[in-house]
Chains A and B, each alone.
Chain A
Amino acid sequence: MGIQNLIWQVTKKAFTGGIIGITISDRFCGVVPVRGDSMSPTFNPQRDSYLDDYVLVDKFCLKDYKFARGDVVVFSSPTHYRERYIKRIVGMPGEWISSSEDVIRVPEGHCWVEGDNRAFSLDSRTFGPIPLGLIRGRVTRVVWPPQRLSKIGG
């Protein structure tokens, strides 16, 4: 049965590729699409473009959770358990953030995130500071489309 053998070989290769791919994207770096324009103009600067930006997410930072103000991070939503957002850290623990009426202190182990496009962003101004433990990686580069290849941060 040549076909059966072929299918088995292909499945084995796919399985191996899958495990290696998942391990690399969990521990080293992964590529994710950016949906929405809450981080405009850093990502998805044109509203009606059909191409979403794809960014490289570095996972080495998750070893010690060392982040700094200005990092763009991917984090799991504190309110919708299946969703992930990409926003920028604008406040680290202990810092003070001024919102509309008052001044808020970012608690220990948390951070304040905001989208670059303040008018269209659902972020800490709505759901408050997020625990650093929700962060799933730091965005370092834009990798697609090729004309927007760039380094974020520096």
Chain B
Amino acid sequence: MRWLRYLNQWRGTAKEAFEQVSIVAKFLCLIHLTDRYIISSTHVQGPSMLPTLNLTGDVILAEHLSHRFGKIGLGDIVLVRSPTDPTRMVTKRVLGLEGHRLSFSADPLAGDGSVSVVVPKGHVWIQGDNLYASTDSRNFGPVPYNLIEGKALLRVWPPRFFGSLR
């Protein structure tokens, strides 16, 4: 009958352990929710958004609410899942919404050759600020609105560039 007593002892500890684990689990779920649906921080790097974003990498805060309510507007810097590689996220500026007509230069170094395009329904036109070093809608065309995953709010690192992005 001794093992019955041991079992009762373990039951108390097991219950406590379960309580602690469930607190941690609930906290992790809250973190997941905040990161996915409210606000998150991302490290962005690359030359395609110069001079707005630095070459060597910035940390920006992005919010994930606007795109769910359709509140992405012209000029917003957005985090988009790349249409050529779904495991990568790219940061670009929205320069055209559905129905807009845009004309762009197919090759900015060659000078001439302007192309005109209408953004189809449900799509947006994204471009990097640095036209000479950016792969964007000029290369892969307008992207579906649902690929947008967040809108950049402000830059938090490096500290001397802290603040909103323009």
Q: Do A134 and B26 touch across chains, with their CB atoms under 8 A apart?
A: no
Number of A-B contacts (CB under 8 A): 67
Binding stretch for chain A, among B11-19, B103-111, B116-124? B116-124
Contacts of A132 in B (CB 8 A): 86
B87→A65 contact, CB < 8 A = yes
Judged by a CB distance under 8 angstroms, whether B165 is at the interface is no
The stretch of A2-10, A19-27, A142-150 in contact with B is A19-27
CB distance from B64 to the nearest CB of A (A): 12
- Asked if A134 meets B84 with Cβ closer than 8 Å, knowing A19-B29, A19-B30, A79-B121, the reply is no
A36 touches B (CB below 8 Å): no
Of B42-50, B54-62, B144-152, B154-162, the stretch lying at the interface with chain A is B144-152
The answer for the CA separation of A135 and B147 in the assembled complex, in Å, is 10
**Residues A20 and B25 in contact, CB atoms below 8 Å apart:** yes
Q: CB < 8 Å: which of B32, B70, B121, B147 contacts A131?
A: B147
Q: A131: which B residues are within 8 A, CB to CB?
A: 81, 83, 86, 143-144, 147
Asked whether B86 lies within 8 Å of A133 as measured between CB atoms, the reply is: yes
Q: Is A86 an interface residue (CB 8 A)?
A: no
Cβ contact within 8 Å between A23 and B29: yes
Partner-B contacts on A (CB < 8 A):
16, 19-20, 22-23, 26-27, 64-65, 76-81, 107-110, 130-135
- Which residues of B does A touch, CB under 8 Å? 25-26, 28-30, 32-33, 36, 70, 81-87, 120-123, 143-147
Ordered by A's residue number, 16 sampled pairs between the chains whose C-beta atoms are within 8 Å are: A20-B26, A23-B32, A23-B33, A26-B36, A64-B87, A65-B86, A77-B122, A79-B120, A80-B121, A81-B145, A107-B84, A108-B84, A109-B82, A131-B143, A133-B82, A133-B147
